[in-house]
Amino acid sequence: MVIETKGADAPSARAFQQFIGGQWVAGATGETYERRSPATGDLVETIPWGGVEDARRGIDAARAAFDAGTWSKAPAAQRAQVLRTVAAKLREQLLPLAQLLSKEVGKPTNMAIAEVAMAADVYDYYAGLALDIRGDAITNYAPDAVGLTVHEPVGVVGVITPWNFPLLLISWKLAPALAAGCTVVAKPSEFTAGTTFELARIIAEAGAPAGVINVVTGPGNVVGAELAASAKVDKVAFTGSTAIGKTIMQAASGNLKKISLELGGKSPNVVFADANIDQAVGGSFFGIYLNTGQVCQAGSRLLVQESVKDEFMAKLTAFTKTVKVGNPEDPSTTMGPVINEAQLEKVVRYVHLGEEEGAQMLCGGGRLTGDAYDRGLYVQPTIFDHVQNSMQIAQEEIFGPVLSVMTFKDADEALRIANDTVYGLAAAVWTKNIDTAFKMAKGIQAGTVWVNAYHSAGLPYMPYGGYKQSGIGRELGHEGLEEYMETKAIQLKLA
Ligand code: NAI
Ligand code: MG
């Protein structure tokens, strides 16, 4: 199934094939893509650089599997058992999966271990929900009638995923899709496709019938675009940039397929003077620097109340200077490289732009060079103070370890700044005052608001998604399962 490549470059680098209809098959174009480590430049893996034909083969396999009913009409207990087995296998294979994930993304190994463990939890959660899909009885609209609602799987789902949390974000889609009885064609990012192929292998080994999970790789604007446009696909679930989300929404209109889009953010992280300042410093640090800032919900706009600004920024800047940027395999590394050259250029461009726009750099400053840094794509954690919310560094998603800092006088001003954005994915508020906490939590236009926490662990229990241009639909929780089901109203007239 997986072929070992030879050569000094990287003895463990694997060549994956497309996974279609339960088989490993060569890509139709014969071309391949080499993924090189963002930390060292070494070869990590090769994947097929497929075309429209690969996408169509994947779609046909998923369509045939769905229509055959072996999964879509399987007893709930069978689907739940497969999902529980996926969770168990992810835990059994935690270390090799985390090592591959770490190589692909460049994230420190302990972070990759956490991601695999969190992904496993998602399958267990939806195994539980799969057992409890239930409709309603509506019995009061007429004396001689009974109304029932039943939920049915939506059908074939196209899943298009990014590179920042490749195993977790795809699991947010696959677990509820499989729980509902859907079949899937997944198009992972070419930078991190190996872990998705491994996940497909695990799902098949766990007992999902052939064609229930298919993985095809190739250019996003070819393979991904075909999934979004195909009339044989009933729903597309996407995580990635807002720009591509809009493209997918347009392509999906051809057959009015259902969409769920989880897109970008510029999330406000609001610190009030009455907060536990040390906790807020720690949370703000984690909020912006996790995964080298490559997080859709990163707390990239820090709003600090004027009276505690100096104390807060002194602590946060000192903490930031302790970050150890380096090779993700080194256990002392706390921040790995960025994902690819385009992302490196983007971060460096915004750091220059911040200076041009007149913000004051407190620490950081772009690319790290010299010695081992020259082999990879490393940037410094960077803080800009005296930012105006109208600046590009406050309005545009940088997707790197770059923090924009502003101040506010009171809750009304904080709310005005927090909501002055096209995005609405997440936000955090730090305060000990319950009135302030609820005023902010209710007033912020975002799909998630944390109080006295950042990136905290309500997942997979709580729904996740964006207001405004941060997306459409919700993942996780009960809402995340509903996205993969239709509702049918059955009306019985008593004779
Ligand atoms: P992207 O949005 O281009 O890629 C995401 C996925 O969409 C990938 O699998 C890609 O191959 C696919 N894709 C690309 N073009 C497509 C098309 N026309 N039709 C269908 N699928 C297509 O994101 P990219 O280029 O990797 O990163 C650019 C920026 O996007 C980042 O700097 C960041 O701001 C944002 N981003 C946001 C993420 C999030 O979690 N919300 C994740 C990754 C990126
Ligand atoms: Mg792109």
The per-residue pLDDT for 311 is: 98
The per-residue pLDDT for 3 is: 35
Specify the higher pLDDT residue, 212 or 8: 212
The per-residue pLDDT for 11 is: 52
Q: How far is CA 92 from the centre of its chain?
A: 23
Question: In angstroms, what is the span from residue 351 Cα to ligand 1's centroid?
Answer: 21
The answer on pLDDT for 5 being more than 90 is no
pLDDT per residue over 362-372, tens digit each?
A: 999 999 999 99
Residues in contact with ligand 1 by the CB-under-6-Å rule are: 160-164, 187, 189, 220-221, 224-225, 228, 239-241, 244, 247-248, 262-264, 296, 343, 346, 397, 399
Question: In angstroms, what is the span from residue 246 Cα to ligand 1's centroid?
Answer: 11
| Ligand showing the shortest atom-to-Cα distance for residue 220 | 1
d(CA 442, CA 274): 19
The answer on pLDDT for 214 being more than 90 is yes
Helical segments of 253-382, H only: 277-289, 309-320, 341-356
> What does DSSP assign to residue 292?
G
Query: For residue 202, which of 128, 92, 66, 113 has the smallest C-alpha distance?
Result: 92
197 to 31, 33, 93, 101, 171: CA distances (angstroms): 17, 14, 14, 12, 13
Residue 1's pLDDT band (boundaries 50, 70, 90)? very low
> Which atom of ligand 1 has the smallest separation from the CA of 227?
20
Pairing of β 136-138 and β 43-48: unpaired
Question: In angstroms, what is the span from residue 350 Cα to ligand 2's centroid?
Answer: 17
pLDDT per residue over 278-320, tens digit each?
A: 999 999 999 999 999 999 999 999 999 999 999 999 999 999 9
pLDDT per residue over 97-129, tens digit each?
A: 999 999 999 999 999 999 999 999 999 999 999
Residue of minimum CA distance from atom 9 in ligand 1 = 189
Question: In angstroms, what is the span from residue 244 Cα to ligand 1's centroid?
Answer: 6
The answer on pLDDT for 2 being more than 80 is no
d(CA 404, CA 393): 7
Overall fold of domain 268-460: Aldehyde Dehydrogenase; Chain A, domain 2 (3.40.309)
Cβ proximity of 476 and 450 under 8 Å: no
3-263+474-489 and 268-460 share one fold: no
The answer on pLDDT for 51 being more than 80 is yes
> Which atom of ligand 1 has the smallest separation from the CA of 263?
41
Pocket test for ligand 1, best of 52, 54, 59, 160 (most atoms within 8 A of CB): 160
d(CA 430, CA 235): 38
**Where does 3-263+474-489 sit in CATH, by number?**
3.40.605.10
The answer on pLDDT for 9 being more than 70 is no
User: Residue 309, exposed/middle/buried by CB under 10 A (0-12, 13-18, 19+)?
Assistant: middle
Q: Where are the beta strands (DSSP E) in 228-322?
A: 235-239, 258-262, 268-271, 301-305
The per-residue pLDDT for 94 is: 98
The alpha carbon dihedral of 441, 442, 443, 446 has a sign of positive
The per-residue pLDDT for 26 is: 97
The helix/strand/coil state of 175 is helix
d(CA 325, CA 327): 7
The per-residue pLDDT for 12 is: 76
The answer on pLDDT for 6 being more than 70 is no
Question: In angstroms, what is the span from residue 60 Cα to ligand 2's centroid?
Answer: 26
d(CA 89, CA 7): 30
User: How much of the chain, in percent, has pLDDT values that exceed 70?
Assistant: 98
d(CA 178, CA 83): 8
Question: In angstroms, what is the span from residue 325 Cα to ligand 2's centroid?
Answer: 25
User: Residue 275: what residue type?
Assistant: A
Residue 457's pLDDT band (boundaries 50, 70, 90)? confident
Pocket test for ligand 1, best of 35, 170, 173, 241 (most atoms within 8 A of CB): 241
d(CA 5, CA 45): 9
Residue of minimum CA distance from atom 10 in ligand 1 = 220
The answer on pLDDT for 40 being more than 60 is yes
Q: What is the DSSP string of 379-446?
A: B--EEEES--TTSHHHHS---SSEEEEEEESSHHHHHHHHH-SS--SEEEEE-S-HHHHHHHHHHS-S
The per-residue pLDDT for 10 is: 45
> Which atom of ligand 1 has the smallest separation from the CA of 247?
18
Mean pLDDT of 440-459: 95
> Which atom of ligand 1 has the smallest separation from the CA of 219?
11
Mean pLDDT of 327-354: 97
What residue ranges do the domains of the chain occupy? 3-263+474-489, 268-460
Residue 458's pLDDT band (boundaries 50, 70, 90)? confident
pLDDT per residue over 124-169, tens digit each?
A: 999 999 999 999 999 999 999 999 999 999 999 999 999 999 999 9
Mean pLDDT of 374-401: 98
Cβ proximity of 227 and 187 under 8 Å: yes
The per-residue pLDDT for 169 is: 98
pTM over 0.95: yes
